[in-house]
Structure 1
Amino acid sequence: MTLMLSFVRRYVMPFWLWFVAGSFFLFITNYLAVQIPIQLAKAIDAIRVGNQPQTLYYAIVTIAIMGALVIIVRTLSRVLFFTPGRLVEYQLKNDMFDKLLRLQPSFYSEWQTGDIVSRTANDMTFVRVMVGFGTLQVINITTALLLAGTQMLLLSPWLTLLILLPLGVGMIVVNVGIRRLFDLSRQSQEEMSSLSEHILASLQGVQTIQGFNAQEAFHTRFLKRNKDYMTTNLKLVNVRVITLPVLALSGAMCIWVLLAFGGPMAIRKEISVGQLVAFTSYIALLLMPLRSLGWLMSVFQRGRTSLERVMELLDVEPERPDLPDPIHTQPGKGPGFRFKHLSFAYPDDPDNPVLHDIDVELPAGKMIGVFGRTGSGKTTLLRLLSRAYNAQPEQLFVDDIDITKLHLDEWRKRMSVVTQSPFLFSDDIATNIAMGERPREEIEQAIDSAALRRDLESLPDGLDTIVGERGIMLSGGQRQRVALARALCRPFDFLILDDVLSAVDHQTEHTLIETIKQIGHSRPEAPPTTILVSHRLSALCSTDLILVLEHGKLVDKGTHQELIRREGPYKEAWELQSNKVDDEGNPIEIPCDPPSEGTDDSKEEDV
C-alpha cells in the first residue's frame, strides 16, 4: 500500500484534473444509463394502459436524446482517463532511462539485461493499463453500482436484496481466484524476464553459437524457459476460466430470482410490468461492469506486480560516495595519482580480491604504461581510475584528494576512455565519434589523429557508413581506431587507453603513439595524463613510467630501459616479443622511441 501511495503522489497526482474531469463525465454517463430504464418503464406502462400516447412519445424522445448523450460523454470520459495513463507511462520511461544511465557498472553486474528490458517494456505497459483503464473501470463500476442499486431500492427494497444475493456469492468466489492470479502473474513476469534475457543473449552471441555448432544446446535451454512460461500462463488461464464465468452465472441467477419473485409481485400489482422490465435493465446494467470486474482485478493484480518491479528498479540508488557534498576540481591540467595500499574486489565476488596492496605514485602530465599478463588486474586498475567502480576510501587519491569524494560527473568530463572491447552503436561512424553535438571539423581532426582516414576512403559512405550492431561491419582495428577517434574528439585532462592498439600493425601503432605524445606537446604548460595498457611492449617503451602487474600486485615499475635490464615479467616479455619473425622468417624490428622528457628518478625506484 505504501508503494502504491508513493507512486500515486509521484506520478498520478500531477494529472488529477484529468481524472476529476473524467470522473464527472463518467458519472453523467452512468446517470443517463440509469435514467433510460425509468423512461423505458414509463413507455411500457403507457402502452399497457393504452390511452397515454403523449407519455409514450415523451419517453421515446427522452430515451433517444439520452442515448446520444451517453455516446458523447462516454467518449470524453475515456479520453480523459486514457490520456493521463499514457502520460504516466511516458514519465516513467523518461525517469527509468535517466536512472539506467546514472547507475554504475556494479549494478549491471548484478542485474540481467533481459530483466531490465522486460521491466521497462512489459511491466510499464501493465502499469499504464492499471492507471488509465483500471482507474476508469473502478470509478465506472462504483458509480454504476451506486446509481443502479439506489434506483432498484427505490423501486423495491425486498426484490433488490434478493437479486443482489447471488451477486454477493459470485464476488466472494472471484476474490478467492484473484489472490491466486496475483501469485501466478508475478511468476509469469519473472519467467518472461528470464526468457527475454536468454533470447537477447543468444541474438548477441549468435555468431559464437553457430561457430561452435551449439544451436541445439541453446535451443534446449530456450525450450525449457519457454515451457515454464507457457505452463504458468496456462495456470493463469485456468484460474480465469474457472473464476470469471461465476459472475455470468450470478447474473443468470439474478434473472431467475427476478422472475421467481418479481413475477408474482407484478401479478399482485405490487410493482408494475414496466418496473419489472426496468429491473431487468438494471440487472443488465450491473452485469456489464461486474463481468469485467474479474478481468479488472487481474489488471490491478498484474499492474501492482509490475509496479513493484518498476519501482524496485527506479528506487535503486546510484553508487555515489561523493554525495551529498562532492569536491569540485578545476579542469585544464593532467591529474596526478597516488595509490595508497590499494586493494579491491568486485562486489559480486568480495572474497576474491583482484588488486592487492598497490602503493605507487603516478606523476601528473605524463604518459604512464601498464603491463601485465591476462588476469593481472590492469583493466580493474583503469576502472577504479575512471570510477566505473569505486575504490575504498583513502586508498586512491587524485592530486591529494580522495577520488571517491570528487564530483563524479565533473571527473568524467575531464577524462576520455577507450576500453579494451570498444562498444560502437548501430549508427554511422560520425555519430559514433561525436557522441553528441560536435562540429564536423573536430570529427575530421579526430579521424586524422586516430589514423582512420585511409580506412574511411575505402568504405562506401565514408563517415556516413553504418557500422552495424556493435560495429560488426568494421574490422577489429577499425573499431579500435573509431573508439580512439571518439576519445580524441573531446577535450580531456586524463586519457585512458586499455589495450587499444592490439589489432593494428606496428606502423599504425607507432603513428598513434606519436599522435598521443603530440597532444601532450601541444599543452606544454598543462599536459594531460595518459594511462596506456598494452601487451605490446613496443607501445609502452615510449612512456615515461611503466607499472608491471602480476596476480593483482605491483611487482615492478620504471622506464622501459630500466625494466629490460633487470629480471622480471617485463624483461621476459620483451625478449619474447623481440624474437618475433614475420611470415617469411625475417626478424620484426620493434620500434621503440625513448620518452620525450626524462622521468623523475625519485619515482622510479624498485618496488
Structure 2
Amino acid sequence: MERTSIFWNHIKNYRWSYVIGFALLSISSLLQLLIPVLLGQFTDRLQISSLTYGETIQFAIWMTAVGLGIAIFRSTSRIYLFRLARVLETRVRGDLFKHWEKLSAQYFNNQRIGDLMSHAISDVQVIREVSMQGYFNILEAILLITVSVIAMVTSVNPWLTLVTMLPLPLLSILAYRFNDRIQKQSANMQSAISDLTSRVQEFTAGIRVVKAFVQEKEESKLFTKDNEHAVDMNRKFVRTNSLFSSLSTGIVGFSFLVSVVMGGVMVLNHVITLGQFVAFNTYLSLLMGPIENLGKVVNLMQRGKASEKRIMEIFNTQPQVIDDLVADQTIERIGGEIEVRNLTFAYPEEEDRPMLKNVSLKVPKGTSLAIVGRVGSGKSTLVHLLVRLHNPPEGTVFIDGRDIHEIPLNILRGQIGIVPQDQFLFSSTIRDNIGFDPHPYTDEQVVEASKVAQVYENIVEFPDQFDTTLGERGISLSGGQRQRVSIARAIIKKPSILIFDDSLSAVDTITEDLILEGLKSVMNKRTTIIIGHRISSVQGADQIIVMEAGQIVERGTHEKLLQRNGIYADLYHKQQLDQEAERQDGQDDDSIQATLSQEGAGV
C-alpha cells in the first residue's frame, strides 16, 4: 500500500492529542489578547487623571495573573506538541529502518551510504522541526491574527484596521514567489550533505588504502571540494531565506508605520481615544511575531516538503523479494535437496545480459557440490538465488521438490548457513558475531563453532578472548581470522544447507586443510555447496561443476574431470605447478640460509 503523507498520517493517529495541545495553545493565545484591553483601560483612566492607587494595584494584579496564565498554558502546550514531534521523529526513523530491512539487496547496491545516513538523520530532523515549530507557529498565528483583527475592528476602529492590514496580503504573494526556490535549494542542500557524508564514510572505510598509496592530499582535495559545495548550497539557501525574512519584516514594519501615523492623526482628531490607540498598537505588536513566524514557517514547510518527498520515495519503494502468495506457512524445516531446472537469470538493470543461462543441476540431500570458475562466471549469483537475495524465475529452483517461492523466507534463510565473500563482521564482540542469530547460543556452542572453524586459538590469545570488541567491519582481525569467524557464524546455526562462497581464500593451505577436516563432521548429512578457486578446497566434493559465462561447461567428480583434460584439469595442473614453484623457492631459501650459516661458522 502506497503511503501518501507522513504528516497527515501522524496527525490522524494522534488527533486527540493534537486537539488537547491546540486547546491549551488557544487558551494561551486568548489570554494574550487581554493585555491590550487592560493597557487601553489603564491609559484612558490615566489620561483623565481618575486612576486611584487601589485601581493601579488592581491593574498590576490583573496583568500579573494574565502573564502567569499565558506562561503556564503556552509552556504546557509547547511541551505537549513538541513531545508529539519527538514521537513522530522516533516513529519515522524506526519505520525507515524497518523498511530498509524489508528491501532487497539489489536496492542497496544502487544507494550510497551517505544518502541513506542523510535520510535517517537530516531529513527526519527536518520533518520533526516541521511538526514541532511549524504546527505550533501556524496555529498560534491563525488564532492571534483572527481574534486580534476582530478585536481591533470591534473595539478600536474598522478603517484603521483595514488600512493597517492592507500590506499584509503581500506576505502570501511573497511566499508564493519564493516557494519553488526555497524547496529546490533545500533539496540541493540536503543532496550536498549526502555527498559530503558519503565522502567521509568512503575515506574512513578505505583509510588503509589511502595511506598505503599516499593519497592523503588527493583525498583532502576531494573532501574540500565536497565541503565547499555543501557550504555553497547552504549559503544560497541562507541568502534566499534571509531575503524572504527581510522582505516579510519590511511588510510588517510598514503596517506598523501606517498604524502609528494614521492612529496618531485619529487620536488628535478625537476619532479614537489614547487608550484605544495604545490597545490597537499592542494588538499589532502581538501580531508582529506570529506574522514574521509565518515567513519562517513557509520556509520550514518547503524544507519539510522536500525531506518528506525523499523519505516517501523510500517508503513507496517496494521490496522485490517477499513471501509469495503461494508460500506455505506450515513449512517449519527444509531437508536440503536442491534442484535447478533450466535456470536463466539476469539482474533487473541488465536484462539484456543474463548472468546465468540454462543452468540445470541436482544436489541430493546430505551431499556436497563444488563450483569453480573464473570471476564473473555466475557462481555467487547462483547461490544468492538459493537464499533468494534475488528472485529466481518460478519453476526453476526447487528445494525438497518444492518451488523455492513456496518456502517462507524466514524458514528458507533460517535453514541455510552462508559464508559470503566479503566476510562482513559487526562492530560488537566476537561472541556476538559468532552467535549472530535470533536464537541464543550457549558459550559452549560458540566455543565449539570457533574450534571447528580453526579460529579458537586466535581468539583465546586476545586479552578479552570472546568478549573482544571488534572495530568497524571487524577491521581489528586479519582477513583470515574474519573468514574463520564468518565460518563459525554459519556452522553454529546447524543449518540444513551450508554454503561457502570462496570462504577459504584468505587462509593458508595448512589452515585450509585443518578447516576442511573440522568441517567434515559439520558437513555430514548436510547439503553443502562450496565455491572456491583452489582445487584443494573443492576436490573432495561429491560432484563438481565448472562454470563459464553463466553456463555449466563441465561436471563430475575430481577424478573424472581430471580425465577430461578440460578447464578443471588445466586449472588443477596450473595450481600444482604454482605449489611446486613455491616449494622449490622455499627449498632454495633454505639452501641459501644453510650455506650462509656454514660460511659464518667457518669464519
TM-score (norm 1): 0.91
Distance change in 2, residues 1:467/1:581 (3 Å): farther
Aligned residue number for residue 199 of structure 1: 200
Aligned residue number for residue 152 of structure 2: 152
The amino acid of 1:291's aligned partner reads E
SS of equivalent residue, structure 1 residue 585: helix
The amino acid of 2:337's aligned partner reads G
SS of equivalent residue, structure 2 residue 271: coil
Aligned residue number for residue 590 of structure 2: none
The amino acid of 1:545's aligned partner reads Q
Q: How far apart in 2 are the matches of 1:469 and 1:108?
A: 19
The answer to whether the aligner puts 1:267 opposite 2:265 as a matched pair is: no
The answer to whether the aligner puts 1:497 opposite 2:500 as a matched pair is: yes
Aligned residue number for residue 574 of structure 2: 576
The amino acid of 1:86's aligned partner reads R
Aligned residue number for residue 420 of structure 1: 421
Q: How far is 1:587 from its partner?
A: 9.2
Distance change in 2, residues 1:467/1:289 (3 Å): same
How is 1:77-96 mapped onto 2 (pairs within 5 angstroms)? 77-96=77-96
Distance change in 2, residues 1:249/1:330 (3 Å): closer
Decide whether the 8 Å contact of 2:119 with 2:311 is kept in 1.
yes
Distance change in 2, residues 1:332/1:290 (3 Å): closer
Decide whether the 8 Å contact of 1:337 with 1:397 is kept in 2.
yes
Q: How far is 1:584 from its partner?
A: 5.3
Range with greater deviation from structure 2 (568-577 or 210-219): 210-219
How is 1:534-553 mapped onto 2 (pairs within 5 angstroms)? 534-553=532-551
Aligned residue number for residue 596 of structure 2: none
The amino acid of 2:541's aligned partner reads T
Q: How far apart in 1 are the matches of 2:87 and 2:355?
A: 46
Q: How far is 1:114 from its partner?
A: 1.3
Aligned residue number for residue 105 of structure 1: 105
- Deviation per residue, 1:253-290 (Å, 9 max, x gap): 22321232211211222211011011111111111111
The amino acid of 2:297's aligned partner reads L
Aligned residue number for residue 32 of structure 1: 31
Q: How far is 1:407 from its partner?
A: 1.4
Q: How far apart in 2 are the matches of 1:373 and 1:185?
A: 47
The answer to whether the aligner puts 1:468 opposite 2:467 as a matched pair is: no
Decide whether the 8 Å contact of 1:417 with 1:497 is kept in 2.
yes
How is 1:302-341 mapped onto 2 (pairs within 5 angstroms)? 302-320=303-321, 322-328=323-329, 330-332=331-333, 334-341=335-342
Q: How far is 1:515 from its partner?
A: 2.6
Distance change in 2, residues 1:3/1:507 (3 Å): closer
Q: How far is 1:329 from its partner?
A: 6.7
The amino acid of 1:350's aligned partner reads E
Q: How far is 1:405 from its partner?
A: 3.5
Q: How far apart in 1 are the matches of 2:575 and 2:582?
A: 15
Q: How far is 1:474 from its partner?
A: 1.1
Range with greater deviation from structure 2 (10-19 or 555-564): 10-19
Q: How far apart in 2 are the matches of 1:332 and 1:242?
A: 65
Aligned residue number for residue 596 of structure 1: none
Decide whether the 8 Å contact of 1:42 with 1:274 is kept in 2.
yes
Decide whether the 8 Å contact of 2:7 with 2:131 is kept in 1.
no
Aligned residue number for residue 555 of structure 1: 553
Decide whether the 8 Å contact of 1:110 with 1:348 is kept in 2.
no
Q: How far is 1:330 from its partner?
A: 4.0
Decide whether the 8 Å contact of 1:333 with 1:365 is kept in 2.
no
Percent sequence identity over aligned pairs: 29
Q: How far apart in 1 are the matches of 2:112 and 2:345?
A: 23
Q: How far is 1:557 from its partner?
A: 0.7
The amino acid of 1:457's aligned partner reads V
Range with greater deviation from structure 2 (477-486 or 244-253): 244-253
Range with greater deviation from structure 2 (185-194 or 217-226): 217-226
The amino acid of 1:124's aligned partner reads V
Q: How far apart in 2 are the matches of 1:533 and 1:583?
A: 24
Aligned residue number for residue 591 of structure 2: none
Q: How far apart in 2 are the matches of 1:171 and 1:49?
A: 42
The amino acid of 2:466's aligned partner reads L
Decide whether the 8 Å contact of 1:328 with 1:407 is kept in 2.
yes
Decide whether the 8 Å contact of 1:396 with 1:402 is kept in 2.
yes
Decide whether the 8 Å contact of 2:491 with 2:522 is kept in 1.
no
Q: How far apart in 2 are the matches of 1:16 and 1:10?
A: 10
Decide whether the 8 Å contact of 2:436 with 2:489 is kept in 1.
yes
- Deviation per residue, 1:55-110 (Å, 9 max, x gap): 44332211111011111111001001100100011111111111111211111112
Aligned residue number for residue 594 of structure 1: none
- Deviation per residue, 1:368-392 (Å, 9 max, x gap): 1111122222111111112111112
Distance change in 2, residues 1:319/1:3 (3 Å): closer
Q: How far is 1:291 from its partner?
A: 1.3
Aligned residue number for residue 41 of structure 1: 40
Distance change in 2, residues 1:161/1:42 (3 Å): same
Distance change in 2, residues 1:321/1:428 (3 Å): closer
Aligned residue number for residue 240 of structure 1: 241
How is 1:331-410 mapped onto 2 (pairs within 5 angstroms)? 331-332=332-333, 334-410=335-411
Decide whether the 8 Å contact of 1:251 with 1:283 is kept in 2.
no
Distance change in 2, residues 1:504/1:75 (3 Å): same
- Deviation per residue, 1:462-515 (Å, 9 max, x gap): 111122111111111111110111111113111110111122233322232233
Q: How far is 1:310 from its partner?
A: 1.1
Aligned residue number for residue 600 of structure 1: none
The amino acid of 1:123's aligned partner reads D
User: How many residue pairs get matched?
Assistant: 581
How is 1:218-233 mapped onto 2 (pairs within 5 angstroms)? 218-233=219-234
The answer to whether the aligner puts 1:213 opposite 2:214 as a matched pair is: yes
Distance change in 2, residues 1:447/1:3 (3 Å): closer
Decide whether the 8 Å contact of 2:335 with 2:400 is kept in 1.
no
- Deviation per residue, 1:312-363 (Å, 9 max, x gap): 1122211135423413474555422222221222223333222222122222
Range with greater deviation from structure 2 (246-255 or 69-78): 246-255
Distance change in 2, residues 1:108/1:79 (3 Å): same
Decide whether the 8 Å contact of 1:171 with 1:247 is kept in 2.
no
Q: How far apart in 2 are the matches of 1:373 and 1:246?
A: 66
SS of equivalent residue, structure 1 residue 423: coil
The amino acid of 2:65's aligned partner reads I
Aligned residue number for residue 483 of structure 1: 486
Aligned residue number for residue 129 of structure 1: 129
Decide whether the 8 Å contact of 2:3 with 2:315 is kept in 1.
no
Q: How far is 1:3 from its partner?
A: 6.4
Distance change in 2, residues 1:306/1:333 (3 Å): closer
Q: How far apart in 2 are the matches of 1:462 and 1:566?
A: 49
Decide whether the 8 Å contact of 2:334 with 2:400 is kept in 1.
no
Decide whether the 8 Å contact of 2:18 with 2:81 is kept in 1.
yes
Q: How far is 1:216 from its partner?
A: 3.7
Distance change in 2, residues 1:350/1:197 (3 Å): farther
TM-score (norm 2): 0.92
Q: How far apart in 1 are the matches of 2:10 and 2:583?
A: 70
The amino acid of 1:76's aligned partner reads T
Range with greater deviation from structure 2 (374-383 or 410-419): 374-383
Decide whether the 8 Å contact of 1:443 with 1:489 is kept in 2.
yes
Range with greater deviation from structure 2 (274-283 or 255-264): 255-264
Aligned residue number for residue 138 of structure 2: 138
Q: How far apart in 2 are the matches of 1:359 and 1:488?
A: 27
Q: How far is 1:583 from its partner?
A: 5.2
Q: How far is 1:302 from its partner?
A: 0.6
How is 1:510-549 mapped onto 2 (pairs within 5 angstroms)? 510-521=513-524, 527-549=525-547
The amino acid of 1:299's aligned partner reads L
